[in-house]
């Protein structure tokens, strides 16, 4: 019995390419930028932004193992751009990381790649340690080996733990007190990043972002998940007594922030 398939729809070709809005004078010592997790939600926003905002200036290499929450569709519109490359690799593989760094003469790393779904960390915490801690260690050691000029590590505000209601604005130097395996793995990764700065003078910046939302987000996260449930007429579930609050940052604004950190950090 034969099968027939619908031709691929080309709607995506007519859709706007979503990026940030900032643009700076290019950094003279930045040429080849590796973005780990570049096919994922937040990182792909920065990939698209840098590729399209700085053509002929920055070469952007998206390094991603293409896990369940990543998609090549997130950078599909860039595949013909001369300053974009997609490299399928795993940050826990030293040989793949070194190959990418050496092959593309990387001078700057944005490290986004991570296991980030908090609920999964309760039942599969080993994978969070492997990816978020060991994977970061592999990147740091590889960056030290090849002499990276900038290592920008994307962490999370969850390393601070639970914050009392009405005390939302914590000083950056507040004590880290993670309350779940995901947050603990990100806090541990930060310790490694700091140790490489102090021990080996690796030029690092740590960014503690809060919750990000926007197009291209995988539907396991609360905003796209709730929208999807409501569209189907299904109930949404809130845990706790309903008094908890969250702050959210639009993905385009996050891309602007990372662009600013690259040029002004």
Which tens digits make up the pLDDT trace of 86-98? Answer: 999 999 999 999 9
Q: Which residue is it, tokens 């340690």?
A: 129
87, 182, 196, 213: which is the annotated catalytic residue?
Answer: 182
58 is catalytic: no
Q: What is the DSSP string of 167-210?
A: -----TTSPP---SHHHHHHHHHHHHHHHHHHHH---EEEEEE-
Say whether domain 28-212+250-264 belongs to CATH 3.40.50.970.
Answer: no
**What is the per-residue pLDDT for 13?**
63
Catalytic residue among 158, 196, 213, 259: 158
* C-beta separation of 58 from 26 below 8 A: yes
CA–CA separation, 214 vs 45, rounded Å? 10
Active site residue 157: yes
Which one from 99, 157, 220, 253 is the annotated catalytic residue? 157
pLDDT on residue 257: 98
- Within the chain, which residues score under 50 in pLDDT? 1-6
pLDDT of residue 170: 78
- Per-residue tokens: 61: 């290499």
Total-model pTM: 0.88
The full set of domain ranges for the chain reads 28-212+250-264
Name residues whose C-beta falls within 8 Å of residue 193's C-beta, 6 or more positions apart in sequence: 136, 140, 151, 153, 204, 206
CB 248 within 8 A of CB 11: no
Residue 68, by phi and psi: left (phi above 0), alpha (psi -120 to 50) or beta? alpha
182 is an active site residue? yes
Give me the pLDDT at residue 3, please.
Answer: 42
């Amino acid at each position: 019995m034969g099968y027939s398939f619908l031709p691929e729809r080309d709607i995506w070709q007519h859709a706007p390419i979503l990026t940030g809005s900032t643009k700076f004078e290019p950094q003279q010592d930045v040429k080849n930028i590796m973005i780990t997790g570049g096919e994922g939600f937040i990182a792909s926003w920065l990939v698209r932004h840098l590729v399209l905002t700085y053509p002929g200036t920055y070469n952007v290499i998206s390094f991603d193992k293409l896990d369940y929450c990543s998609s090549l569709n997130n950078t599909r519109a860039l595949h013909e751009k001369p300053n974009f490359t997609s490299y399928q690799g795993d940050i826990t593989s030293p040989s793949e990381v070194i190959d990418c760094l050496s092959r593309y003469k990387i001078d700057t790393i944005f490290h986004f790649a991570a296991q980030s779904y908090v609920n999964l960390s309760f039942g599969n915490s080993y994978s969070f340690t492997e990816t978020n801690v060991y994977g970061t260690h592999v990147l740091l050691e590889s960056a030290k080996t090849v002499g990276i000029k900038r290592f920008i590590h994307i962490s999370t505000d969850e390393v601070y733990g639970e914050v009392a209601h009405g005390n939302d604005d914590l000083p950056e130097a507040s004590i880290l007190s993670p309350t779940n395996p995901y947050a603990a793995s990100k806090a541990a990764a930060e310790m490694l990043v700091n140790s490489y700065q102090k021990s080996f003078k690796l030029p690092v910046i740590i960014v503690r972002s809060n919750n990000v939302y926007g197009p291209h987000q995988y539907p396991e996260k609360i905003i796209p998940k709730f929208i999807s449930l409501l569209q189907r007429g299904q109930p949404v579930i809130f845990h706790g007594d309903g008094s908890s609050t969250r702050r959210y940052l639009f993905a385009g604004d996050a891309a602007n922030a990372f662009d600013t950190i690259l040029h002004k950090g």
